[in-house]
């Protein structure tokens, strides 16, 4: 089983030193969230993840969730740990105090998301979709529904799901077949089948609150006729207690490559009682409140799995002896593999990406809170534009790089990595879903280039470019070499952005073929932006903690020298166009 130590020191560095968004710091609701409080939270989070949740990863992989006589049973140990998990209040961490939440900002809850992703992604998914459903209900439902359902969801005694996909439609939700028939009392009877429903059924909670998209009988075809419904597994009585089983049954559980402890279900709705959330035919936009949050969280899943893969690779590389690293070695018959240049390069590649991702996520979490809570509408909108732009980047780049890092971790372990004994191959399998669900990474890239670069609020990418350029304006001479490299790649991103926006007007195929390359170029430059922020602090506060900041500076140097050049490669490949691709004749 892999070992794991939560990176609390690095998280606290970000919270204490990079909490520099002026508008975030103006938010009154978070004035009392002090570093001491956050450190206490993260240290307690580390304990439950390291000691209780981490062992569930192997348990769930070896004893997957099963469907038995119509009942879904979670792996051994899940029930007991889940009970402790909700008793300690982890489901309520970022929820509204009005419904029993602790009201912590995403600058804190994102760290917890990373930790639990490292410990056991399969276990995490049972509560993760609950938080997504909570957010959707919190934003779009009326007070009666909020008061009836949210307190139990926040407490963790009821869980939630997101029911979109059907056998006839995945991304193209306009094709959905699930029907909603209005009843005289204002409720709806929901009939249809949903597939690939994460945590669709299980034995951890008293009730499961499904958010289901369906088409009312009088609604138009396509995406314009989609509405959103709350459909509980068990009917909830007027006094809030559990009533009869609703018309929902589990048809099967998917047999998956990874995250085997998570029950991915086929759900059959047979005239199940549901409540419409928000206006009729506006369900897709409401569901995206949940979807967009989930996409960022999926990126954090990739980050979390990368972190545990790196930690174990580093530990193994220090212990494993094999070969002579160079002609000067005097270590007897063999050196530890960490002495070999290629292994060191692999480890630094992991480390530089992971720490850059964590810093970028922290920047994005501040933007998210500003977009939701600032008093000034324009400031909220500007922050929302940044969140919109970065959502596909975080989801796609972090999950793709998670595949690179877990693959490299297997390579560091050699034959042992390919066997089940060390648990490294499980990290690879568990992470493999992250580039696929919540919209595949190619869908994210298309969304980025066709919808996010410019929108009704103007040229969003130029707003971002202006932000990152301003970060490079430093008088610190030690930062100059990094800034010069950074400006070179900002220029590439700027040219690539202009090319994409112009090409979208004349040749959609060129832009489609270049979309993934554009997303990665934007992503690598964004990570460099995060590293510039870290470097500013590292040089300024160097004497406070020389060992820590030396480590940051040298890791950043590796990123700028060895990883960031990928951005230019993607740019050059992309602007060659799509004619060869589209004209190629497949046999």
pLDDT digits (tens, 9 = 90+) for 234-267: 999 999 999 999 999 999 999 999 999 999 999 9
Task: Provide mean pLDDT across the span 561-565.
Answer: 98
Q: What percent of the chain has pLDDT over 90?
A: 87
If pLDDT is split at 50, 70 and 90, which confidence band does 455 have? confident
Is 479 within 8 Å of 536 (Cβ atoms)?
yes
Structural domains of the chain in order of their starting residue, each with its CATH number: 288-322+334-579 (1.20.140.10)
185 C-beta neighbours (distance < 10 Å), count: 7
Per-residue pLDDT reduced to its tens digit, 500-557: 999 999 999 999 999 999 999 999 999 999 999 999 999 999 999 999 999 999 999 9
Q: Which range (308-317, 349-358, 476-485) has the least confidence? A: 476-485
Residue 341, class by beta-carbon neighbours within 10 Å (0-12 exposed, 13-18 middle, 19+ buried)? Answer: exposed
Q: CA distances (Å), 39 to each of 15, 120, 307, 467, in order?
A: 9, 22, 19, 29
Model pLDDT, residue 327: 61
Is residue 322 over pLDDT 90?
no
Model pLDDT, residue 305: 98
Task: Provide mean pLDDT across the span 464-488.
Answer: 92
Q: Which helix (H) or strand (E) holds 189?
A: strand 188-198
Model pLDDT, residue 326: 74
Q: Which of 307, 355, 438, 471 is catalytic?
A: 438
- Cα–Cα dist 85/74, whole Å: 15
Per-residue pLDDT reduced to its tens digit, 163-179: 999 987 767 777 889 99
Mean pLDDT of the chain: 94
Residue 330, class by beta-carbon neighbours within 10 Å (0-12 exposed, 13-18 middle, 19+ buried)? Answer: exposed
Model pLDDT, residue 24: 97
62 annotated active-site: no
If pLDDT is split at 50, 70 and 90, which confidence band does 291 have? confident
- Cα–Cα dist 277/295, whole Å: 21
Q: What share of the chain is helix, strand, coil (3-state, %, to 5)?
A: 60, 15, 25
138 C-beta neighbours (distance < 10 Å), count: 18
If pLDDT is split at 50, 70 and 90, which confidence band does 287 have? confident
Residue with tokens 């099967």: 252
Q: CA distances (Å), 231 to each of 203, 228, 254, 372, in order?
A: 18, 10, 22, 27
Task: Provide mean pLDDT across the span 405-421.
Answer: 96
Residue 68, class by beta-carbon neighbours within 10 Å (0-12 exposed, 13-18 middle, 19+ buried)? Answer: exposed
Is residue 562 over pLDDT 70?
yes
Task: Provide mean pLDDT across the span 380-394.
Answer: 95
Q: Which helix (H) or strand (E) holds 209?
A: strand 207-216
Beta-bridge mates of residue 253:
265
- Cα–Cα dist 522/129, whole Å: 28
Model pLDDT, residue 325: 76
Is residue 407 over pLDDT 70?
yes
Phi, psi of 446 (to 5 degrees): -65, -40
Q: What percent of the chain has pLDDT over 70?
A: 99
Q: Report which listed range, 189-193, 279-283, 471-475, is most confident.
A: 189-193
Is residue 472 over pLDDT 90?
no
Is residue 222 over pLDDT 90?
no
Per-residue pLDDT reduced to its tens digit, 342-364: 999 999 999 999 999 999 999 99
Confidence (pTM): 0.96
Beta-bridge mates of residue 210:
161, 231
Model pLDDT, residue 151: 97
Is residue 457 over pLDDT 80?
no
Per-residue pLDDT reduced to its tens digit, 120-159: 999 999 999 999 999 999 999 999 999 999 999 999 999 9
């Amino acid at each position: 089983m892999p070992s794991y130590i939560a990176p609390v020191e690095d998280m606290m560095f970000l919270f204490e030193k990079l909490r520099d968004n002026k508008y975030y710091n103006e938010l009154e609701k978070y004035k009392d969230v002090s570093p001491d409080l956050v450190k206490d939270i993260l240290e307690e989070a580390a304990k439950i993840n390291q000691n209780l949740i981490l062992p569930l990863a192997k348990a769930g992989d070896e004893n997957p969730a099963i469907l038995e006589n119509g009942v879904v049973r979670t792996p051994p140990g899940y029930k007991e740990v889940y009970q402790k998990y909700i008793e300690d209040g982890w489901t309520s961490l970022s929820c509204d105090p009005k419904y029993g939440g602790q009201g912590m900002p995403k600058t804190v809850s994102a760290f917890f998301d990373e930790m639990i992703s490292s410990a056991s992604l399969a276990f995490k998914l049972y509560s993760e979709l609950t938080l997504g459903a909570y957010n959707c209900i919190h934003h779009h439902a009326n007070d009666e529904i909020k008061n009836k359902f949210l307190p139990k969801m926040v407490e963790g005694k009821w869980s939630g799901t997101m029911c979109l996909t059907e056998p006839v439609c995945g991304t193209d939700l306009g094709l959905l077949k699930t029907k909603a028939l209005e009843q005289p009392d204002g409720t709806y009877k929901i009939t249809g089948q949903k597939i690939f429903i994460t945590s669709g059924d299980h034995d951890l909670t008293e009730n499961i609150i499904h958010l289901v998209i369906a088409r009312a009988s009088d609604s138009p075809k396509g995406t314009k006729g989609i509405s959103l419904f709350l459909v509980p597994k068990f009917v909830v009585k007027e006094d809030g207690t559990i009533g009869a089983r609703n018309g929902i049954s589990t048809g099967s559980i998917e047999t998956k490559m990874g995250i085997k402890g998570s029950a991915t279900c086929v759900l059959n709705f047979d005239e199940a009682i549901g409540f419409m959330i928000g206006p009729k035919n506006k369900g897709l936009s409401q569901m995206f409140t949940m979807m967009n949050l989930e996409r960022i969280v999926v990126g954090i899943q990739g980050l979390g799995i990368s972190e545990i893969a790196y930690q174990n690779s580093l530990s193994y590389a220090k212990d494993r002896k094999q070969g002579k690293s160079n002609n000067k070695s005097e270590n007897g018959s063999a050196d530890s593999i960490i002495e070999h240049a290629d292994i060191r390069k692999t480890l630094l590649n992991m480390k530089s990406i992971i720490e850059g991702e964590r810093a970028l996520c922290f920047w994005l979490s501040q933007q998210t809170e500003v977009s939701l809570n600032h008093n000034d509408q324009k400031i909220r909108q500007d922050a929302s534009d940044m969140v919109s732009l970065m959502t596909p980047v975080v989801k796609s780049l972090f999950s793709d790089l998670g595949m690179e890092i877990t693959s490299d971790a297997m390579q560091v372990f050699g034959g042992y990595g390919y066997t089940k004994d060390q648990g490294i191959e499980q990290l690879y399998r568990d992470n493999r879903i992250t580039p696929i669900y919540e919209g595949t990474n190619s869908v994210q890239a298309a969304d980025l280039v066709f919808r996010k670069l410019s929108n009704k609020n103007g040229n969003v990418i130029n707003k971002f470019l202006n932000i990152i350029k301003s970060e490079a304006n430093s008088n610190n001479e030690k930062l100059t070499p990094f800034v010069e490299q950074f400006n070179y790649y900002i220029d590439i991103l700027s040219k690539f952005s202009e090319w994409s926006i112009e090409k979208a007007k004349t040749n959609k195929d060129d832009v489609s073929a270049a979309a993934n390359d554009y997303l990665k170029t934007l992503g690598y430059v964004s990570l460099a932006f995060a590293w510039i922020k870290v470097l500013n602090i590292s040089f300024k506060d160097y004497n406070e903690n020389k060992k820590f900041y030396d480590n940051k500076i040298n890791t950043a140097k590796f990123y700028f020298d060895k990883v960031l050049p990928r951005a230019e490669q993607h740019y050059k490949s992309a602007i060659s166009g799509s004619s060869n691709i589209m004209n190629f004749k497949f046999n």
